[in-house]
Chain A
Amino acid sequence: NAGVTQTPKFQVLKTGQSMTLQCAQDMNHEYMSWYRQDPGMGLRLIHYSVGAGITDQGEVPNGYNVSRSTTEDFPLRLLSAAPSQTSVYFCASSYSEGAGDTEAFFGQGTRLTVV
């Protein structure tokens, strides 16, 4: 059971480049989300999805796009990378409220540096 898988683990981008961070889960979770973690800031929500075809913005969505075409996958796209997007990115998944169990499981993280 792989859980939540993120790729890549590390990435260096030049300012203005675009890229996609991949996230896949095999637990049939409806709810998936992307967080960024910066020193002293805790985890801040970028975007989330409550099911295939449904996405919404979190606290810090600017500069990022998401889509959810399947239950398993929730990729995060950086449209034009900026140094302010240097961070560690975590993908998480959980069941939705109706299932009762809403514990979130996290991927291993992607450490992104924009130069």
Chain B
Amino acid sequence: ELKVEQNPLFLSMQEGKNYTIYCNYSTTSDRLYWYRQDPGKSLESLFVLLSNGAVKQEGRLMASLDTKARLSTLHITAAVHDLSATYFCAVYRYGGSQGNLIFGKGTKLSVKP
């Protein structure tokens, strides 16, 4: 059974600081997605990582995937208040006998001035 663990679950940062959110998963997969959710809103796709070593960057966020370690990271550089949100990773499960996307519990990020 594929399990996805994110840590930390809560993160309070000061503006201008750097930090990394980790997403570990338990069985083989080479597709991983990061989503952002603002309070009361839907999930917005941030990054699609489709192979080992994939790295994507958008603004102050950079995501990477290491399929051998079963680990993805979301790195935040010089955080700003606008990045405050909940971030979810989701791992793709091939075969889909119990659905094809397994989500972590999310990391609630709060960026303070």
Contacts and interface: CB of A to CB of B under 8 A. Distances in A.
B88 A97 contact: no
A104 B104 CA distance: 15
Contacts of A97: 94, 96, 100
A89 to B, nearest CB: 11
Contacts of A103: 33, 45, 48
A58 B45 CA distance: 22
Interface in A49-68: 50, 56, 58-59
Interface in B44-101: 44-45, 48, 88, 90, 92, 94, 96-101
Tier of interface size on chain A = 20 to 34
A9 to B, nearest CB: 10
B4 to A, nearest CB: 8
Main secondary structure of the interface of B (DSSP, over half): strand
A48 B88 contact: no
27 contacts: A33-B99, A33-B100, A33-B101, A35-B103, A40-B105, A41-B105, A42-B104, A42-B105, A45-B99, A48-B96, A50-B96, A56-B97, A58-B98, A59-B98, A90-B43, A92-B101, A97-B100, A102-B92, A103-B33, A103-B45, A104-B33, A105-B45, A106-B43, A106-B44, A107-B42, A108-B41, A108-B42
Interface in A17-50: 31, 33, 35, 40-43, 45, 48, 50
Contacts of B88: 42-43
Nearest to B89: A42
A45 B105 contact: no
